[in-house]
């Protein structure tokens, strides 16, 4: 089987720039208010509305609920004839008044109401942050003990890359959905829920697994580095496990896509985060984590000196001479081409001297 060979490490700045661009766009979307937290985190009242006939526009729904001091409510259109209204915490009386107004003005067939107090929302938020930090701490300790701390640092960079990408995608979708009419993105989740956090923690495990596979191969190939820089050896290692990473990612994505398409609203948030996170995790392992680890290793004196010596020699030597030098290094005691030519030249000179005599 022909093994693919791509220069992942050598073109690292291209990958870093691409990822940085995506993350910056996502952070801008967050600052512009594209990231919508579910009622479980913020506290408040969530109204899940089902319309009898044609679903009205966001403007019509907002106009109907405006008299109840709900002008700042977040309204999202769902698939079919449904919509969500996320607003401040409403009393039982206010909920009944809003439901009656919706049924009278917009022909609503059913309204499901969920009210969460601010204390419970804070509890969910704090629990999610603690779970994330604890998971990252355990990952760093494990990788540092099993491999080395530089692998742990590179893994953290890849994991944070995946987290920022998922958050950015959510914010971009939320921002675009807010500005589109007709619910064009209603089939995708647009707010952060506890399911989102659970899927994000699952992504950490998947991203870690993919990083461990690559880092383990790099560790195995380190004693066989030979006449290569550390980056070149790491790049060869990545190419050796490339097909395995692709196959694993594709096999994992198939059931996630099925969940996303047919899992319904309950599993939509969970499946969407897994889908985006696994694609980002497969990318970050090869294009982010491995180059970062190679850069950290080449800070070490022995690998830094080797890089300077090998790269400097390749820049100075002509191509033909470089080939001869490699032949001399790998042929061992056998006579290399340059040595053979030098020996032949010396014999020719001796013959000329004999003839003159």
pLDDT band (50, 70, 90) for residue 164: very high
Q: What is the mean pLDDT of the segment spanning 178-198?
A: 65
User: What is the torsional sign of CA 213, 216, 222, 224?
Assistant: negative
- Regarding whether 334 and 274 lie in a shared domain, the answer is no
pTM above 0.85, yes or no: no
The answer to whether residue 4 is domain-embedded is: no
Q: Which of 91, 116, 141 delimits the end of a domain?
A: 116
CA atoms of 89 and 44, how far apart (whole Å): 4
- Pairing type for strands 36-37 and 191-192 reads parallel
pLDDT reported for residue 347:
61
pLDDT band (50, 70, 90) for residue 329: very low
CA atoms of 249 and 206, how far apart (whole Å): 10
The answer to whether residue 208 is domain-embedded is: yes
Most confident of 80-84, 158-162, 176-180: 158-162
pLDDT band (50, 70, 90) for residue 64: confident
- Regarding whether 229 and 157 lie in a shared domain, the answer is yes
List the single range of 18-32, 70-84, 290-304, 323-337 with lowest mean pLDDT.
323-337
CB atoms within 10 A of CB 260: 19
Task: Determine contact, residues 237/217, Cβ cutoff 8 Å.
Answer: yes
The answer to whether residue 68 is domain-embedded is: yes
- Regarding whether 190 and 106 lie in a shared domain, the answer is no
Q: How many residues are recorded in the chain?
A: 357
The answer to whether residue 350 is domain-embedded is: no
Q: What is the mean pLDDT of the segment spanning 173-202?
A: 70
For 288, residues 6+ apart whose C-beta sits below 8 A from its C-beta are: 15, 16, 19, 157, 158, 161
| Helices and strands: H and E segment counts in the chain | 14, 6
Q: What is the mean pLDDT of the segment spanning 314-334?
A: 47
Please give the tally of structural domains in the chain: 3
- Regarding whether 70 and 25 lie in a shared domain, the answer is no
Q: Which of 52, 85, 116 delimits the end of a domain?
A: 116
- Regarding whether 247 and 154 lie in a shared domain, the answer is yes
- Regarding whether 322 and 253 lie in a shared domain, the answer is no
The answer to whether residue 356 is domain-embedded is: no
pLDDT above 50: residue 127: yes
- Regarding whether 327 and 270 lie in a shared domain, the answer is no
Q: What is the mean pLDDT of the segment spanning 288-308?
A: 86
pLDDT reported for residue 36:
76
The answer to whether residue 357 is domain-embedded is: no
pLDDT band (50, 70, 90) for residue 176: confident
Query: Which is more confidently placed, 50 or 17?
Result: 17
pLDDT above 70: residue 286: yes
pLDDT reported for residue 199:
83
pLDDT above 50: residue 320: no
DSSP letter for 80, please: S
pLDDT reported for residue 123:
75
Task: Determine contact, residues 210/288, Cβ cutoff 8 Å.
Answer: no
Q: Which of 116, 142, 163 delimits the end of a domain?
A: 116
pLDDT band (50, 70, 90) for residue 3: low
pLDDT band (50, 70, 90) for residue 355: low
Q: What is the mean pLDDT of the segment spanning 7-17?
A: 91
Query: Which is more confidently placed, 181 or 291?
Result: 291
The radius of gyration computed from the CA coordinates of the chain, to the nearest angstrom, equals 30
Residue 325 is part of which domain span?
304-345
Q: Read off the CATH number of the domain in which 197 is found.
A: 1.20.1640.10
Report residue 270 as tokens: 């969970």
CA atoms of 46 and 66, how far apart (whole Å): 16
pLDDT above 90: residue 67: no
Report residue 6 as tokens: 């791509």
pLDDT reported for residue 120:
62
pLDDT reported for residue 19:
93
């Amino acid at each position: 089987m022909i093994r693919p060979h791509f220069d992942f490490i050598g073109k690292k700045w291209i990958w870093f720039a691409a990822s940085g661009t995506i993350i910056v766009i996502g952070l801008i979307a967050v600052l512009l208010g594209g990231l919508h937290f579910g009622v479980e985190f913020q506290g408040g009242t969530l109204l899940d509305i089902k319309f009898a006939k044609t679903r009205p526009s966001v403007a019509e729904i907002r106009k109907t609920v405006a008299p109840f001091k709900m002008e700042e409510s977040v309204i999202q259109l769902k698939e079919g004839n449904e919509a969500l209204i996320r607003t401040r915490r409403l009393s039982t009386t206010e909920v009944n008044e809003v439901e009656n107004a919706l049924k009278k003005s917009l022909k609503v067939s059913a309204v499901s109401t969920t009210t969460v107090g601010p204390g419970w929302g804070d509890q969910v938020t704090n629990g999610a942050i603690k779970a994330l930090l604890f998971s990252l701490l355990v990952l760093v300790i494990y990788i540092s003990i099993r491999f080395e701390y530089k692998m742990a640092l590179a893994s953290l960079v890849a994991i944070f890359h995946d987290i920022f990408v998922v958050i950015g995608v959510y914010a971009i979708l939320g921002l675009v959905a807010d500005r589109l009419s007709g619910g064009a993105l209603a089939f995708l989740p647009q707010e952060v829920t506890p399911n989102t956090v659970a899927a994000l923690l699952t992504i950490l495990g998947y991203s870690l697994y993919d990083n461990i596979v690559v880092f383990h191969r790099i560790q195995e190939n380190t004693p066989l580095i030979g006449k290569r820089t550390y980056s070149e050896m790491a790049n060869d290692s990545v190419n050796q496990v490339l097909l395995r990473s692709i196959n694993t990612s594709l096999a994992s994505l198939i059931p996630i896509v099925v969940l996303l398409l047919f899992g319904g609203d309950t599993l939509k948030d969970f499946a969407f985060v897994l889908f985006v996170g696994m694609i980002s995790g497969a990318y970050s392992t090869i294009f982010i984590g491995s180059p970062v680890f190679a850069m950290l290793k080449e800070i070490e004196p022995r690998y830094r000196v080797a890089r300077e010596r090998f790269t400097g020699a390749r820049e100075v030597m002509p191509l033909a001479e470089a080939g001869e030098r490699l032949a001399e290094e790998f042929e061992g005691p056998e006579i290399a081409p340059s040595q053979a030519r030098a020996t032949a030249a010396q014999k020719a000179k001796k013959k000329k001297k004999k003839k003159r005599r």
